[in-house]
Structure 1
């Protein structure tokens, strides 16, 4: 009885174990089947993607082959055009070389013009030196004998100013500049008119202001020191009051010309040799420097042609 009971229990245990093993195997098989189905679906999707990529690659390859064919045609056209341009450039270079051999270069022309200008300036300077030497020789025979008292001809305008005549031959006009800064020039027909009358013949208003009292009128032009500038000289046409030229005088305008007249930095004067400018230069210890001005190459121009320093300080 006991043995039979044990056998029965063993049989039941074996059956239970077999039943549990069958359930696990079925679950594993179902899981594997599902995974296989998923892998098949993914493989199918990959195959479709590969087919699509292959088609796109083929289409792109076709487009590239077409573009290469077009580029080849364009390359041939560009090459032919470049060859044509190169031939034209070679022809142009040959023509330019021919012209250069026939026509003198610009540098040679400029060199000839510069040499001619230097020769003209040298000739003018030699002539000026000869005139100055002759004048010095003639002046050596004369000596200053005495200085008389000041004669008051007329009182007019401000306490400081200047009046002068145009030393050009045939000119009788007198000009009056009142003050140390203004833009007007009073013109009188003659010295007698200037002394006897108070109304000028003409009042000339300039487009700019002058300063100081070292101005002159020479050959129909008014030369003055432009206001608010250290060393700019203006050349003004008296007929219409327009500025026709200007120049800067290097080294001038830093010191007054004369200690008794602190408002004048440029003092212009005219003699038989032409127009001069007198000024004090600190680089020469404050001594006076005399510079010769020329009318220049153009009719209204101003140029420096001679500069002399002195040992005289005022």
Structure 2
């Protein structure tokens, strides 16, 4: 009996111990589940709070964006209205300029010092002045026209960078384009229409040059290209476009290589073609305040005559020559309306009161180049990558008319 009793007591103790163990384990698991439920409840509350804050932020963002859109629309309307008023004011200014004809400064060349041509006229002077010297009047240009205004403006297209030059050969329909401020190639098109219909400046229209060009100061005449290059000295290169060969190179012994226009520092010299021939606009030295003009022989590039135009380089952006008259275009450093403010006639025939102060219509920036075509009486302008054609209105020089 005793062994059996001991076995029963031992089994009871073992059972009690197991029950206590499992009960403790269940209590532990129950406590852990309660803690997890509390944590999940906390997370749920935080999630709802975050969601509510997110909804409030979204609503606030929508309200702010709606307000910004209204402000942007209002600002856009104000800017559009201001642009319309500015355009209207410019049209009114152009109208007033057309009717009031303001006049530009015109300074004839220093004939005595620059030409050195004198003759003694005896018997034609009073006795007190007999034996005096009088300057010989030489006629450089026979053309009798001067600009009276800009008739129309045509923005052809936009091709290339902000700086460049384009022009049409006066003796053919071909168009030539120099993109940038230097390079070893140019772009050639059959006509203005061909260029207008083209996709742009691609390799199919490129022409490689043996000598690099510098600055947008090139000119084209009768299938010959005249362009400027410089290293230590300024040189003018003449290239036969039909054969692609350089036929002549002329060096200009200047004191220093300096921009001819202060607002176009890339233009160290500017070539121009008109009814009278080939011209070169340049600065003789860095300290020279005025623009100098040279008449070149188109065949040999020899210098025939030189003038000090008395037109300042300061604030000049471009220039062109028509009938032996230099028109210098000025602007401001923050680009504004370009204007012809200084005129110089190599014959001294143009009077101050007959030279109008011509304003160009306000467009994009400032002219990198202006090239005159004597056959069409048009200017080919490059303005911030836009190719523009200005059709000019001409009139007869009053003084020449009186002398004739």
Superposition TM-score, scaled by structure 1 size: 0.51
1:115-154 equivalences under 5 Å are 129-130=138-139, 132=141, 134-135=142-143, 138-139=144-145, 144-145=148-149, 151-154=154-157
Q: Distance in 2 between matches of 1:241 and 1:195?
A: 25
Q: Which runs of 5+ in 1 are unaligned?
A: 1-127
Contact 1:209 1:227 in 2 (8 A): no
Partner residue, 1:175: 176
Partner residue, 1:224: 227
Partner residue, 1:93: none
Please state how far the C-alpha of 1:252 moved relative to its aligned partner. 7.0
Q: The residue matched to 2:194 in structure 1 has which SS?
A: helix
Q: 1:157 to 1:274 in 2, by over 3 A?
A: same
Please state how far the C-alpha of 1:186 moved relative to its aligned partner. 0.8
Q: Distance in 2 between matches of 1:143 and 1:274?
A: 18
Partner residue, 2:253: 250
Q: Distance in 1 between matches of 2:255 and 2:225?
A: 19
Please state how far the C-alpha of 1:230 moved relative to its aligned partner. 3.2
Q: The residue matched to 1:194 in structure 2 has which SS?
A: helix
Q: 1:156 to 1:229 in 2, by over 3 A?
A: farther
Q: Distance in 1 between matches of 2:236 and 2:198?
A: 31
Q: 1:157 to 1:224 in 2, by over 3 A?
A: same
Contact 1:166 1:218 in 2 (8 A): yes
Deviations 1:61-90 (A, max 9, x none): xxxxxxxxxxxxxxxxxxxxxxxxxxxxxx
Q: The residue matched to 2:193 in structure 1 has which SS?
A: helix
Deviations 1:246-294 (A, max 9, x none): 0012327622111111000110000100000001223883211111111
Contact 2:294 2:307 in 1 (8 A): yes
Partner residue, 2:303: 304
Q: The residue matched to 1:263 in structure 2 has which SS?
A: coil
Q: 1:229 to 1:183 in 2, by over 3 A?
A: farther
1:215 pairs with 2:214 = no
Q: Which runs of 5+ in 2 are unaligned?
A: 1-136, 314-404
Q: The residue matched to 2:158 in structure 1 has which SS?
A: coil
Partner residue, 1:237: 240
Q: The residue matched to 1:172 in structure 2 has which SS?
A: coil
Deviations 1:147-173 (A, max 9, x none): 87x6532111121110001122xx010
Q: Distance in 2 between matches of 1:143 and 1:311?
A: 19
Contact 2:233 2:254 in 1 (8 A): no
Contact 1:276 1:292 in 2 (8 A): yes
Q: Distance in 1 between matches of 2:179 and 2:206?
A: 12
RMSD (Å), alpha carbons: 2.6
Contact 1:167 1:270 in 2 (8 A): no
1:276 pairs with 2:279 = yes
1:33-44 equivalences under 5 Å are none
My pick for the range that moved more, 213-222 or 225-234, is: 225-234
1:59-138 equivalences under 5 Å are 129-130=138-139, 132=141, 134-135=142-143, 138=144
Please state how far the C-alpha of 1:309 moved relative to its aligned partner. 1.2
Deviations 1:195-233 (A, max 9, x none): 121367742101121110010111211111124343111
Q: Distance in 2 between matches of 1:306 and 1:279?
A: 13
Structure having the higher Rg: 1
Larger relative strand fraction: 2
Q: Distance in 1 between matches of 2:193 and 2:138?
A: 37
Contact 1:165 1:173 in 2 (8 A): yes
